[in-house]
Amino acid sequence: MISLRHLTKTYGRGHAAVTVLDHLDFEVPTGRIAAVVGPSGAGKSTLAQCINLLERPTSGAVVVNGEELSGLPEKRLREARRRIGTVFQSSSLLSRRTAAENIALPLEYLGVTPGEARARVAELLDRVGLSDKAGHYPFQLSGGQAQRVGIARALALRPSILLADEATSGLDPDTTRSVVGLIRQLRNDLDLTVVFITHEMDTVRQVADTVARLDHGRIVEQGDLVELLTSHDSLLGRSLQPRRGHAGPEAGTRTWYVTYDSTDVPGDWIQRFTGDLGAVVHLLGASVETVHGVNTGSATLGIGADDDARVRGALARYGLSGTPDGGGGSQSHQLLTAAAVLEDVA
Amino acid sequence: MSALIFPRADVPLNDLPALLLPAYGETLTMVGIVMAVVLVIGAPLGVLLHNVAPGGLYERPALHAVLSWIISIGRSLPFLILMAAIVPFTRFITGTNIGIAAAVVPMSLAGIAFFTRIVENSLRSVPPSMVQVARAAGGSNLQIMRTAQFSEAVPAVIGGLTIQVIAMIEYSAIAGTIGAGGIGYVAVTYGYQRFDNTVMLATIVILVVTVALVQIVGDRLVRFTTPQKRLQRA
């Protein structure tokens, strides 16, 4: 378990001082994967550097398994870093060392005997599925393989906390999926506590148990991933939904943005909803996926009915929630726009 | 002019080796000693310079400014002038101001300034994320400098070292003009002052071949220490 208490990080002094983290409180229970998202400039990288103790917070505490680490003297701080494994953005491998030598780096720093280190490295290579790549240099590895080596290196000293700092940024979707799968697998096998910092909402839906949104140096919203995804009023939940383009509405219909607002939306809701409403319903766009066993997603519909309240009522019957486009000024519309902006910035 | 006093007569080809080989040996000795001194002092100094700079492991901007300034002075003087300017210092260290020993002092000073910059530059080209990785892995500053900074920069340092050795061969020839011996001395006394074209040509050939060899060895080493170049060739 890791908890951050009133974490504050200020750079500079006096009038030039910039507060990047502002009394941030955050906690990840043992064995959970918590994603931290937020626009650039929100303080994500500073947060990462405070968690793996590369930066000392100006005030506040980083507590790992009940022990306060951020206030330790320099030498002890270096030892404390070993309890937190960090997976960096791809291409963080030393170019003149093989995969095995890269993984051995933390063991080497610790002063582990070469024999022990070899055994541990072999075990780690096996765990990340790269036993046949031990002697390969980084330039011979694909992005996904390099990142697996990065993960193995982060785990070399058996940390209880794994910090992934934009670990999948720059990887293609398939590779991201496999790296994320590996992280979840390792979490299950090793009971790791994972802090997954990213700006990619698609990745968050694949990896996270809980999600927190960082903005202006504070956690402004957090919650369980599925709850957020099925919550109509959550800005964070909205921004987690994939937002793709959709077809234009036909004459006589109105565009509605519909989100899955509960955990038990029936698979045939479109058919049933259309029957209930007794009006024309065009499917203009949709994205539905199963997250932790629950169907979540959104759809854009062109609906040939004028009575908003009736449409809303019909949707609500199936655990859905709808917002007409062009409604103007409504709270949900603003929320929607804000969510889109959030995604843009990210 | 010496040509008027001594009737012009080129050194016979047969006598060339006896003249040139010892001189070549002296040149190699000078460059060898200087390079040893330069490596031992310049490499740590370069690493230090890089790490006291803003963003380094031991950020000390004031110290960095002072060090950098001193090195720039060493780098800005033409070698001939530096050599002449520090004669009292050279005599204090070696007790003489001619010969190999005397040449080694100014050459080392100029060389250290040169190499320190080369090392600093090479380290700067290593992505800063490597240092973050090493710190997060629990490395001490010394371990980080060795494994994440210097080791990653080795090909760049060797490339710079090649340039440096060639520059030192050139400096040794300049030092030859003040009686340090070596190929430069032979080239000046025979080729220049006695218009001995044979000796002049021979020294030029020797220098060209030496420099070419140094370059070839340097390039090979760079290739050997860069996994991507080493393995993609095979």
**Pairwise CB contact (< 8 Å): A94 & B225:** no
Would you say residue B99 has pLDDT above 90? no
Reduced to 3 DSSP states, what percent helix, strand and coil does chain B have, rounded to the nearest 5? 80, 0, 20
State the smallest CA–CA distance between residue B109 and chain A in angstroms: 32
Return the pLDDT at A328: 36
Summarised one tens digit per residue, pLDDT across range B182-232 is: 898 888 888 888 888 889 999 999 999 999 999 999 999 999 999 999 998
Q: Which run of H or E residues covers position B122? A: helix B99-124
Average pLDDT over residues B37-53: 96
Residues A45 and A16 sit within 8 Å (Cβ to Cβ): no
Cα B17 to its chain centre, rounded Å, is 26
- For chain B, domain boundaries: 15-131+147-227
Residues A162 and A154 sit within 8 Å (Cβ to Cβ): yes
The Cα A164–Cα A145 span in angstroms is 16
* Residue B115 banded pLDDT, cuts 50, 70, 90: very high
Q: Is B217 on the interface with A (CB under 8 A)?
A: no
Q: CA B233 → CA B59, B220, B228, distances in Å?
A: 40, 12, 8
Torsional class of B135: left (φ above 0), alpha (ψ -120 to 50), beta (otherwise) = alpha
Q: Which of A53, A78, A98 to mutate to test the interface with B (most CBs of B within 10 A)?
A: A78
State the smallest CA–CA distance between residue B40 and chain A in angstroms: 23
The Cα A28–Cα A14 span in angstroms is 34
Return the pLDDT at B191: 83
Return the pLDDT at B96: 83
- For chain A, domain boundaries: 2-227, 235-345
Would you say residue B3 has pLDDT above 60? no
Q: Is B14 on the interface with A (CB under 8 A)?
A: no
Summarised one tens digit per residue, pLDDT across range B78-91 is: 898 988 898 899 99
DSSP A101-113: HHHHHHHHHHT--
Return the pLDDT at A332: 45
Report the sign of the C-alpha dihedral through residues A134, A135, A138, A144, in that order. negative
Low-confidence ranges of chain A (pLDDT < 50): 326-334, 345-346
Taking contacts as CB-CB distances below 8 angstroms, the residues of chain A near B147 are 94, 105, 108-109
Average pLDDT over residues B54-82: 92
Give me the percent of chain B exceeding a pLDDT of 70. Answer: 95
Closest partner CB to B133 (pick from A92, A137, A140): A92
Q: Give me the CATH topology for the region A235-345.
A: Alpha-Beta Plaits (3.30.70)
Beta strands in chain A (DSSP E): 2-11, 18-28, 33-37, 59-64, 67-68, 84-87, 161-165, 193-197, 210-215, 218-224, 254-260, 281-291, 294-303, 320-324
Q: Give me the CATH topology for the region B15-131+147-227.
A: MetI-like fold (1.10.3720)
Taking contacts as CB-CB distances below 8 angstroms, the residues of chain B near A79 are 138
- Side-chain-facing half-sphere of A84: CA atoms under 13 Å: 32
Q: Is B219 on the interface with A (CB under 8 A)?
A: no
Residue tagged 């950020």 (tokens): B59
Superfamily of structural domain A2-227 = P-loop containing nucleotide triphosphate hydrolases (3.40.50.300)
Q: What is the ipTM of this complex?
A: 0.86
